[in-house]
Amino acid sequence: MVEISRDGKRVYFTNSLYGAVDPQFYPEGIDGWMVKLDAAPAGGIEFDPEFLLQWPKSHRPHQVRLEGGDCSSDSYCYP
């Protein structure tokens, strides 16, 4: 899943889609994680080397819900 911050300066990625879909791609299961990329105002993105969240075994991260938003679709709905 992918989520863009409301100010467009950060992009968050997780390695899980949905519980019903993940087993098709990861039949042995996965160790869940989330990373962040920083977007520069002048253009370009780079990984934040200090941001790596790892989920406990058997937990899978899906949508990232940022403060003030409700889900991934919220990112393109604000003015």
Contact yes or no for 16/32 (Cβ under 8 A): yes
Quick one: CA dihedral 58, 35, 71, 20, positive or negative? negative
pTM (predicted TM-score) = 0.70
User: In the block, which residue shows the tokens 């969240």?
Assistant: 53
For residues 41 and 31, give the distance between their C-alpha atoms in angstroms, rounded to a whole number. Answer: 33
Question: What local confidence, expressed as pLDDT, does residue 79 receive?
Answer: 47
pLDDT in tens, 7-66: 888 888 888 877 777 778 888 877 888 999 999 989 999 999 999 988 887 777 776 766
Contact yes or no for 8/37 (Cβ under 8 A): no
- Identify the CA nearest to 56 among candidates 27, 31, 29: 31
If you average pLDDT over residues 69-77, what whole number do you get?
A: 52
